[in-house]
Amino acid sequence: MCTQVSAKDFQTVHHEMGHIQYYMQYRHQANLFRSGANAAFQEAIGDTVALSVATMRHLYAVQLSDIDPDTISRGNRLILCPCSSGTSDGTVVGGVA
């Protein structure tokens, strides 16, 4: 997978890392149980990881944002969130790198 520095690829990489974590947790199981009960559950794990890293609090904690989420109002937080404020080319606006 080729990536660019963008919010979309940031989330995609973490989604894929969610799949890897899923496989690693089941590696000691018998082959019958390694694939999981439902493919949608595995996708949900990937989506959960991807969504959790896109929060303002996490981006601030890993120094990808200079906006402290504790100092802004809820309305502004929704506007500045990279999951809702990316541009059409995938770059992120609102002070988030």
Alpha carbon distance 14, 62 (integer Å)? 14
Give the CA dihedral 47, 87, 65, 97, nearest 10 degrees: 100
Please tell me the number of Cα atoms within 13 Å of 6 on its side-chain side. Answer: 13
Alpha carbon distance 67, 73 (integer Å)? 12
pLDDT value of residue 51: 87
- Residue 14 sits at the vertex; the CA angle it makes with 45 and 67, to the nearest 5 degrees, is 115
Q: What is the pLDDT along the chain (97 residues), one digit of tens a residue?
A: 687 888 888 889 989 998 888 888 888 888 887 776 678 888 888 888 888 888 888 888 888 888 887 877 666 656 656 554 444 444 544 444 4
pLDDT value of residue 39: 81
Integer distance in angstroms from the first to the last C-alpha of the chain? Answer: 21
> Domain locations in the chain?
7-85
Given a contact cutoff of 8 angstroms between Cβ atoms, the answer to whether 3 and 12 are in contact is yes
pLDDT value of residue 93: 47
